[in-house]
Structure 1
Amino acid sequence: MKKLVLSTVLTATTMANAGQITALNSNIELSGGLTTGYFYSTNTGTSNHDNFKVSNFIISLSSQTKDRGIGFTTMFGSILLPTLYDGGITDNKAILNQNFGVLAGYLTYLPFENVSVDAGLLTTNIGYEIATSYANPNITYGSVFNAQPFIYPGVRITYSYKDFKFYGEVNKDKGYLNGSSSLQTSGAYAVGTLGSLYGINYALSYYDYTAYKNLIDLVLSKSLNQNLDIALNVDYQWLDNTAKQQGHDKYGYGIAFYIIPKFENISLPVRVEYIKDGSKGKESGIYNSVASGYSFTITPTFKPSKNTFIRVETSYFKTDNKVFQDKSGNQKDSKLSGAVELGLLF
C-alpha cells in the first residue's frame, strides 16, 4: 500500500531508481517521471471528445531525516488529473498548479525517537490512489478518489511503534467540489493509523472539514504472491448541517476494489467501484449527485524496462442520474472512456 510505505511521498514507486545528488551539506535523492497520453471519452458535452496530454511531469527532491535533524521532500512540475467524471478531456481539481510549479513540499523534523513532524504543503494519507498517476495501477482516477482530500498546507505529527504509525494533523484544506475550491470551509483536521496487521497493510483515517463534511476512510491491501496484488478502499462521508441542502440526504459512501495480476513485464490492473450519493432525488452531492453509480476500469500495462511503461485503458461509468451530456446537450447516464499512455520514471 503506497500510503503505508511512503505515506507522504508522492513518487513512491520511483524511489528504488532514484539518483543521488551530493549537495554542500547533505545527500539529496532525485526521482520523478514524465507521462504523455491520448485520451478519448464519450458524453463530454460541447468540449472535445479526445485530446493529447502531458499528464505528469514531476521532479521530486528529498533528503533523509537523521539524528533528530531536519529533512525535506519537495515535488515540482505539473499534474493533470484525468478522472472517471471527465475521461481525461477536461482538467479537474482547480487547487493544482496546472502549469510548471511547486506541487508539494514540506520539512520533516525528528524531535524524539519514533516521532516526526511534517510541516508545509502536505500530501494526504487518505485513500489508495495518489496524485501522480504513474504510481497508480490505472491511468484515470476513480470516483472514490475524486471525493477525497488531496494536497494542502498544514502540520502533521506521526508516532511510529513497530509496524504501526499513528498521526494527527491540522491543515488549511479548503476542499473542492466539481473542480472548484470555492467552498466555505477554512481548513480541516485528521487523525489516523497506518500499519500492517496479520500480513495485511491497512490505513484507517478520520478527516473533518470545517463547515463542510467529514469522512472515515479505510484502505486494505495485500500481495497474495509475486503475481497478484489486491486492495480495497472504503469511504463513508457525511455533510455538516451547515453544508446540507434542505430536503436532501447528508451522507455518501464509496467502495473501490483493485486486483492487479502481474506476469513478468506485463500486468492487468482492474478497478471496480460502487458509489452511493443518497436517495434519488435527495442526493447529498458528495459524489457529484449521481445518486448511485458503478464503474469498471481495466488497464493492460507493458513495461519494456524497469523504468518505462506503455499502458492502454478502457473504463465504463454508469450512474443512476443523468449527470453527463452529449455534444447536443442531451443528458446521459453513462460514460465510456479510453486512454493510451507512455511513461518514463527517473
Structure 2
Amino acid sequence: MKKIILSAMMLTGMLTFAQEGKLTVSGTVDVYGTVNTIDGPGTPGLLVDSPQNATMFGLGMANTIFAYETGKAGAVVDLAYGPRAADAAGVNGINQLYAYYSVNDKLTITAGQFNTFLGYEVISPAANFNYTVSYLFNAGPFTHIGAKLDYAVSDDLSFMLAVTNPHGEFVTGYGSGNAQLGAQVGYKGQYFNLAYGADGFGATDQLYLDYTGGFDISETLYLGINAAYSSSSDAKSGYQGAALYLQNAFSDSFSLGLRPEFFQYNGDANADESVTAITLSANFTLTENLKLIAEGRYDSSDDMIIENTTAGAFPTEDSVTAFTVAAVYSF
C-alpha cells in the first residue's frame, strides 16, 4: 500500500513538473557516400577537421537535443555521437550543455558549454546548406565553455559579451590569465565577432576577427558572406580568408548553392600558404524531415596544404575533386 501511495505521489509530482515547464526533443541523423580523384580515402571538409576518416560510405553524426524551459529559465542538453561529432563537438558526446536565465525581455545570461558565435557554418549538417564545411569553419573555434550575456536592443540591434575557457580544451581549472574574451555586435542580420585570449593550443594572445552576414538579392536568391582574420604574436600563427554562399531556391523542394572560398595561413611555420575551394551543392527536400545533398567540390593549393593534412590523406596532392551525396534526417 505504501508503494502504491508513493508511486501515486511521484506520478503526481512528475505531471505537475511537466505542466509547469516545457520539454522539447529534437535532433538529426546524417549518412553519406563519397568518391574523389586521388588514391586515398580522404575528402576535404567532409567530417570537419579529419578528412582522412572519410570513406566511400560513412556515418556523420547522431544529434539529440533536450531543451527544458520554465518561466524565465531553461536548460539545453545537446548530445552528439559519430565521426563528425568526435571531430568538432568535444568529448563525452556533449555538443552543448548550458543553462540560461532571461533577466528581462532584452537581457539573457547563459552559462555552460555552447557552440561558437564565430563563423557562418555550424557543426550540425542540418543547419548548413553545404554538407562539407569550409576551411574558415575548421580554423576557428567550435565550442566554448564559460558564460555570456546577450542583450537585444531592438529587433535589428543586439550585443553579446562572453568570458570562456580556451576553446581548444574542454576542461576546467584555468587561471584568470588563460581566459578567452568574446564579443558580438549584430545589426540587421550582419554580425561582427571578436575573440581574444588563450586558445588552448599554446597561444595566450590569439585574436579572432569575424564577419558573418548575408543579403536577399531577390525573393529566391541569397548571398551569404563570411570573412575572418586571426593572429598571435605569442604563437606566431594565424590565418585569413573569405567565403561566399550564393544560394537560389528554384522551388520548395530544390535549391542550388555555390560556395567559393579562399583561405591563407599566416605565421612563421606556414606563412602565406593558401588554398582555394569551390563547392557546388544541390539540396533536395524529399519530405518534411528528410533532405538529400548532392555536392561536388574542388580544392586547389600550390602549397599542397589541402585540409592542412601534410602528413595525412594528402601529403603530395596540389588538388582534389570530390563528389558526395548525403542524407540528413531531422526530427
- Whether these two folds match at TM > 0.5 is yes
TM-align CA RMSD: 2.8
For residues 215 and 258 of structure 1, do their structure 2 counterparts lie closer, same or farther at Cα, with a shift above 3 Å needed? Answer: same
Counterpart secondary structure, 2:28: strand
Hey, what does 1:56 align to over in structure 2?
61
Matching of residue 109 in structure 1 with residue 105 in structure 2: no
Pick the structure with greater CA Rg: 2
Q: Verify the 8 A CA contact 1:81 1:140 in the aligned structure 2.
A: no
Matching of residue 256 in structure 1 with residue 248 in structure 2: no
Q: Verify the 8 A CA contact 1:254 1:276 in the aligned structure 2.
A: yes
Q: Verify the 8 A CA contact 2:274 2:305 in the aligned structure 1.
A: no
Matching of residue 31 in structure 1 with residue 26 in structure 2: yes
State the shift of 1:52 in Å. Answer: 2.0
Contiguous gaps of at least 5 residues in structure 2:
1-16, 43-51, 170-176, 199-203
User: Which residue identity lines up with residue 332 of structure 1 in the other structure?
Assistant: E
Write the deviation string for residues 216-275 of structure 1: whole angstroms up to 9, x where unpaired.
100121233332221000101111x2211xxxxx55211010011111211112111011
State the shift of 1:175 in Å. Answer: 2.3
Matching of residue 221 in structure 1 with residue 214 in structure 2: yes
Quote the Cα distance in structure 1 between the aligned partners of 2:54 and 2:104.
Answer: 54
State the shift of 1:102 in Å. Answer: 2.4
Would you tell me which structure has more helix in proportion to its own residues? 2
TM-score (norm. length: structure 2): 0.78
Write the deviation string for residues 57-99 of structure 1: whole angstroms up to 9, x where unpaired.
1111223464xx21122211325339xxxxxxxx744x624x7
In structure 2, which of residues 116, 123, 143 is the aligned counterpart of residue 124 of structure 1? Answer: 116
State the shift of 1:345 in Å. Answer: 1.0
State the shift of 1:284 in Å. Answer: 5.4
Q: Verify the 8 A CA contact 1:216 1:237 in the aligned structure 2.
A: yes
User: Which residue identity lines up with residue 258 of structure 1 in the other structure?
Assistant: Y
Quote the Cα distance in structure 2 between the aligned partners of 1:327 and 1:57.
Answer: 26
Matching of residue 299 in structure 1 with residue 281 in structure 2: yes
**Matched residue pairs, number?**
288
State the shift of 1:106 in Å. Answer: 0.8
Hey, what does 1:238 align to over in structure 2?
231
Write the deviation string for residues 143-195 of structure 1: whole angstroms up to 9, x where unpaired.
0111111112110111111122101101113428xxxxxxxx94411011123
Write the deviation string for residues 191-230 of structure 1: whole angstroms up to 9, x where unpaired.
111231xxxx111011113215211100121233332221
For residues 146 and 311 of structure 1, do their structure 2 counterparts lie closer, same or farther at Cα, with a shift above 3 Å needed? Answer: same
Hey, what does 2:5 align to over in structure 1?
none
Q: Verify the 8 A CA contact 1:266 1:303 in the aligned structure 2.
A: yes
For residues 319 and 193 of structure 1, do their structure 2 counterparts lie closer, same or farther at Cα, with a shift above 3 Å needed? Answer: same
Quote the Cα distance in structure 1 between the aligned partners of 2:205 and 2:312.
Answer: 33
Contiguous gaps of at least 5 residues in structure 1:
1-21, 83-90, 177-184, 245-249
Matching of residue 337 in structure 1 with residue 322 in structure 2: yes
Hey, what does 1:276 align to over in structure 2?
264
State the shift of 1:127 in Å. Answer: 0.7
Counterpart secondary structure, 1:225: coil
TM-score (norm. length: structure 1): 0.75
Counterpart secondary structure, 1:138: coil
Alignment of 1:311-326 (within 5 A): 311-323=293-305
Counterpart secondary structure, 2:31: strand
Quote the Cα distance in structure 1 between the aligned partners of 2:241 and 2:256.
Answer: 23
Matching of residue 72 in structure 1 with residue 75 in structure 2: yes
Hey, what does 1:14 align to over in structure 2?
none
Quote the Cα distance in structure 1 between the aligned partners of 2:81 and 2:54.
Answer: 22
